[in-house]
Amino acid sequence: MCAEHVTRRNFLRGTAGGALAVAIGVSACAPVDLTAQDAGGDLLSRIRDRGEVNIGIANESPYGFVDSAGRITGEAPELARIIFQRLGVERMNPRVTDFGSLIPALQVGVFDVIAAGMFITPARCKQILFSDPEYQAPQTLLVPKGNPKGVNTLDDIVAKKDVRVGLLTGSAETTYADALGLKDRSVIFDSVFSGLDGILANRADAFALTTISLRDAVSKRPDAPLELTPAYVPIIEGEQKLGCGAFGFRRDQRVFRDAFNAELNRMRANGELLATVRPFGFTESEMTKLTVAELCTDTSS
């Protein structure tokens, strides 16, 4: 779906968490330079005035999801909760959409920030601004128990012409599969659990996603006859793709992004970042020092 095809009203009709408001505590405000102005107006001041920020998530655990109590959580929302408290914003409202609609919905103002662990990619950097990354993650395939097709990587799927790959709509894995010539053998799912069910129902032979996401999904379906292949880093057009997830902002909100990013990097420096995401399965090896500037650079041209 492209930005032109998403209206605010159509989009909200499709959201699951639109009406939820989640209270968070207030803490002292860190100093923020509000003298600089964004082309799109001073969104940070508007958010502070209204006391709440709308957060875009794709209900992909453990990155960003609404839990059984209706509370927005996950590694990215929990970081955002702390950062927005420090920026003087009391509440976060979840806005849930499929992964492929996160960018267009941000662009049309359905929410103020994407907190879904979205990878920074040069193509996405042309559409939105990113913070620096909060994590890095390898990939895994979800396959039927016993791995009947004997595939462990996307390259294995390329080599075995009868294997169909399941992909999450709008995901980086979709672009990897396209680049590897797998478009004709791709089956697109709108959520992680529809992908998991798709493997069980033999609609695809292997579902490609981050190790973190698929590990979390199978832990919630322990009796399903499924298994995970070992973690790996895909090589696409000669380049290693270790995905680095970050927060997304509209392109006309550079000052807002910078204020958020400064707090994020303070948390990285003092160890709060890892401490906040650790309960969601992230460890030292998922931490990265790469910057948004490095990750937005297109090395393919």
Ligand X SMILES: CC1=N[C@H](C(=O)O)[C@@H](O)CN1
Q: Which parts of this chain interact with ligand X (CB under 6 A)?
A: 60, 63, 99, 116-119, 168, 171-173, 209-210, 243, 245
Residue 32 or 192 with smaller CB distance to ligand X: 192
CA distance 131 to 122: 13
What's the N-to-C CA distance of the chain in angstroms?
A: 26
At closest approach, how far in Å is the CB of 69 from ligand X? 22
Residue 85 or 211 with smaller CB distance to ligand X: 211
Quick one: 8 exposed, middle or buried, by C-beta within 10 A (0-12, 13-18, 19+)?
exposed
At closest approach, how far in Å is the CB of 50 from ligand X? 28
Q: Which candidate, 49, 96, 44, places its Cα nearest to that of 71?
A: 96
8 φ/ψ angles, rounded to the nearest 5 degrees = -60, -45
Residue 89 or 137 with smaller CB distance to ligand X: 137
Residue 32 or 167 with smaller CB distance to ligand X: 167
At closest approach, how far in Å is the CB of 168 from ligand X? 5
**Cβ of 123: how many Cβ atoms within 10 Å?**
11
Q: Which candidate, 299, 17, 301, 290, places its Cα nearest to that of 130?
A: 290
User: What tokens were used for 125?
Assistant: 């950097």
At closest approach, how far in Å is the CB of 139 from ligand X? 8
Quick one: 203 exposed, middle or buried, by C-beta within 10 A (0-12, 13-18, 19+)?
middle
Q: Please tell me whether the peptide bond between 62 and the residue prior to it is cis, using omega within 30 degrees of 0.
A: yes
At closest approach, how far in Å is the CB of 29 from ligand X? 29
Residue 6 or 212 with smaller CB distance to ligand X: 212
Residue 86 or 135 with smaller CB distance to ligand X: 135
At closest approach, how far in Å is the CB of 208 from ligand X? 8
